[in-house]
Amino acid sequence: MCRIFSKWLKRYVDKFKEEFNTRPELQLVENLQQEMAQLTAQVTELQQRFNQLSALNKSLDNTQMISTPNEAVNFENAERKRAKRMRQMGWPQKRPSLLKQQPKEALVQTVAVPVDTDAAKNEQNIHTDTQKQQTVTTLSDEEFKVERMMLLLDRIYAAEEESQGEPISAEEFLSRYKAGQRDFTGINISGVNLSGQTLTDLNLSRANLKKTNLSKSRLIRLNFCQANLNESNLSGADLALGVNLSEANLRKANLSGANMEQATLIRADLSNANLSKVRFLKANLEFANLNAANLQYSYYDENTIFPTNFDPASAGAYLIAPNATLKNANLAGAVLKNVSLFGANLQGANLSQAKLESVNLTGANLQGANLSQANLESVN
């Protein structure tokens, strides 16, 4: 009897362990640990950069935050600028405003300051027998340290932007590329037209490609890590072969119709980007920012990694997988080579001009589907 009870107890404990190990909370904890590790690395990197700019740091020691009626410190603009820098670092997009945490009375102190009336008469045409009151903004030691650190950050990034200099032309960039140069780290090619180009094995990490036209280009094994592609045009581009866009700034970028199969987009900022009809098969978008991004008619598979709690289907994307529900889906022009749609419901779907080579359509419901000009070579 004891032996039977021991076996039962062992099975019960094993089952309990299995249920515990598959709890979703464990995955959440692992994700948090990964984020904390990455944040620690970013803080370490920032500290190193602070040490390199110690001279600049000392120059801020005597900085005073003083505002007058005519020369008010524009804190809101500073907040927006600092928030932009922090987003580029991968930090939280917003930090609490010191001015909003406390009432103005706690931050602003009014003191009487004598005014030179002769100078005031000449310069401001005011009465000679009056004194003006000027407001002096006083911050606590902790608040001042935070503001001081953010001012230092602004100067660091302003210096980095200036170090990139004026953007070079597309002709000069392509000339260097054809001459064999492959390392373009930090280069400034913002606003140039590279549409339709084929570029291979380039390092464009931390490069400035803001508003650059890369539409219909073929990009093979390119490193765009931490690059600025804000408002760039990548529509119809092929980025499927080993392209790394980790931590890249792709805000408001146009990637409509781009092929991003197996692309790496970890922590990329894709907020407000146009991702319509993008091919995301096997792509990695872990921790990416997809806020307000347009994923209408894009498609992905079971190997695509999206950020935690992000639902691509509710954003308008289609799952390409066996037994998938794709009724009335708009997949016109989609590239679906070598995928399995076994048993999928494609009733009324638009597959016109789609590339369906070697697709497994066994048992699929194609009633009313539009297959005009579709490539059905080797379809099962």
Place of tokens 């953010």: 150
Please state the pTM of the whole predicted model.
0.60
Among 75, 70, 74, 79, residue whose Cα is nearest residue 135 = 70
Residue whose entry in the numeric block shows the structure tokens 């170090």: 163
CA distance 358 to 57: 62
Range(s) for CATH 2.160.20.80 in the chain?
166-309, 320-380
C-alpha torsion 154→155→158→160, nearest 10: -110
Length of the chain: 380
Instruction: Output phi, psi for 254, to 5 deg.
Output: -105, 105
What dihedral angle (degrees, nearest 10) is formed by the CA atoms of 90, 229, 333, 291?
A: 30
List the beta bridge partners of residue 305: 284
Q: What is the pLDDT along the chain (380 residues), one digit of tens a residue?
A: 666 666 666 776 677 666 666 666 666 667 777 777 777 777 677 666 666 655 554 555 554 444 444 444 444 555 555 555 555 544 444 444 433 444 444 434 433 444 454 544 454 544 444 444 444 444 556 555 556 655 664 555 455 555 457 899 999 999 999 999 999 999 999 999 999 999 999 999 999 999 999 999 999 999 999 999 999 999 999 998 889 999 999 999 999 999 999 999 999 999 999 999 999 999 999 999 999 999 999 999 999 999 999 999 999 999 999 999 999 999 999 999 999 999 999 999 999 999 999 999 999 999 999 999 999 998 98
Unique residue bearing structure tokens 């620690």: 40
Coil/strand/helix, residue 125:
coil
Each as own residue / partner, the long-range contacts of residues 307-312 (CB below 8 Å, 24 or more positions apart, any chain) are: 308/28, 308/31, 312/280
* CATH architecture observed for domain 320-380: 3 Solenoid (2.160)
CA distances from 207 to 75, 94, 147, 175, 362 (A): 30, 24, 28, 17, 47
Which CATH fold topology does 166-309 show? Pectate Lyase C-like (2.160.20)
| Helices 75-89 and 141-164, axial angle in degrees (round to 10) | 60
* Longest Cα separation, the chain: 107
